[in-house]
Structure 1
Amino acid sequence: MNMALPVIKDDLSDDELDQIADKAAAASAFLKAISHEGRLMILCHLVTGEKSVTELEELLAARQAAVSQQLSRLRLEGLVVPRREGKAIYYRLADDRPKRMLETVYELFCGDES
């Protein structure tokens, strides 16, 4: 889905400018949430499916407190959803935004450099 970028022109109404500003604020919050290497790596792991906090600790070779802190931020931003099963807590992506973003980042930084 290719969407045209907004063009800010003098003839836009206040409502149109407010809508653009609201979307810019949402995009900024999203980018801040994924701007941490640990959070980005968590999202990379969750693209392949739901993982427990313990699994994420092992995959990231990180302490439980650090992983939980990053998951908390991702949950606060609405990017991941927790599920409790007994004593274990599992996380999955809340929607496809992180996956789409990771595909774009991969294309920009890891794709063919020709």
Structure 2
Amino acid sequence: MDIALLQHAAQEAGQLLRALANDDRLLLLCQLSQGERSVSELEALTGIRQPTLSQQLGILRQKGLVQTRREGKRIYYQVVDETALAILQLLYQRYCPAPQGDST
């Protein structure tokens, strides 16, 4: 195995895990892993107030994990990093409670 390739992969994995290692960002990404959401939807779903919400979404955008789409005055976010999405889907299955009445 090429140690330089392993080091590079470990660096990339570490950067992704650091981006995920924040409760607010993880909560936002958890919601976004289920589909595109507007800023107002994210605020309502997560309870994260606007200043913090904007700050954390900015970090996620800067890290290349999400991208935006503007429709009129609304801004929509979606997860674009496939590796992050795979991790988020696993975390969602393991940690997010099933809706009431859903026995699966």
- Shorter-chain-normalised TM-score: which range? 0.7 to 0.9
* Correspondence for 2:66: 80
What displacement does 1:77 show?
1.3
Deviation at 1:43, TM superposition (A): 0.9
The unaligned stretches of length 5 or more in structure 2 are 97-104
Provide the C-alpha distance between the structure 2 equivalents of 1:88 and 1:59, rounded to a whole number of angstroms: 16
Task: Tell me if structure 1 keeps the 8 A contact 2:33–2:89.
Answer: no
User: Given the alignment, which residue of 8, 13, 23 partners 1:27?
Assistant: 13
Deviation string for 1:15-57 (max 9, x for gaps)? x211111111110000000000111111111112110011101
Q: What is the percent sequence identity of the aligned residues?
A: 42
Q: Which amino acid aligns with 1:94?
A: V
**TM-score normalised to the size of structure 2?**
0.81
Give yes or no for the alignment of 1:57 onto 2:31: no
| Count of residue pairs the alignment pairs up | 96
2:34 is aligned with 1:48: yes
User: Which runs of 5 or more structure 1 residues have no equivalent in the other structure?
Assistant: 1-11
> For the residues of structure 1 that align with 2:18 and 2:61, how far apart are their CA atoms?
13
Bigger radius of gyration, 1 or 2? 1
